[in-house]
Amino acid sequence: MYDKIKSEIVTAMKEKDTLKLQTLRGIKGDADMEHINKKVEINDELMINVLSRGIKTRKESILEFEKGGRDDLIEKTNKEIELLQTFLPKQLSSEEVEKIIDDVFKKVNPTSEKEMGLIMKEVTPLVKGKADMKEVSNIIKDKLKNI
């Protein structure tokens, strides 16, 4: 994944695509910083974390841009999100996410809402990078309320 991003940076330079170039350089820089600061190997798992964090940050920015009425920045940020999502693994459908959560519920058999962390611990490795974690968390909270 890291090598693919590096090659896409070269392509963006040749095509003079500044938005793509800036976005990918930022993600590559974030990955390099994680590698240096945390002394971890650059692998697909690290790249999924960096890409997911980048997308989450941009979604939060869009909310702020909407408050300020900055439609130009909203459009630019949406394009960045679309670009970053192309590097993530295929996203799971809502039904697939529900099935994974149901399977974990059967395995863990929670008795109260206090077991949210235990369920998230089981679900996260199965869906990380493949689904919006905020959405996953909300689904689990709803299911726990119905126990």
Query: What's the half-sphere exposure (Cβ side, CA atoms, 13 Å) at 124?
Result: 11
In one-letter notation, the amino acid at residue 118 is L
pLDDT score, position 25: 96
Q: Which CATH code of 3.40.47.10, 1.10.10.410, 3.50.30.10, 3.90.650.10 fits the domain covering 94-145?
A: 1.10.10.410
pLDDT score, position 131: 84
pLDDT score, position 130: 84
Residue where the block lists tokens 């890291």: 2
Please report, in tens digits, the pLDDT of each residue of the chain (147 residues total).
899 999 999 999 999 999 999 999 999 999 999 999 988 898 888 898 899 899 989 999 999 999 988 999 999 999 999 999 899 888 888 888 889 988 988 888 888 888 888 888 989 888 887 888 888 888 888 888 877
Degrees, nearest 5: CA angle 76-71-31 = 30
- Which CATH number does 2-85 carry? 1.10.1510.10
Q: How many whole angstroms separate alpha carbon 95 and alpha carbon 21? A: 35
Residue 92's alpha-carbon distances to 10, 107, 127, 130, in angstroms, are 30, 21, 8, 6
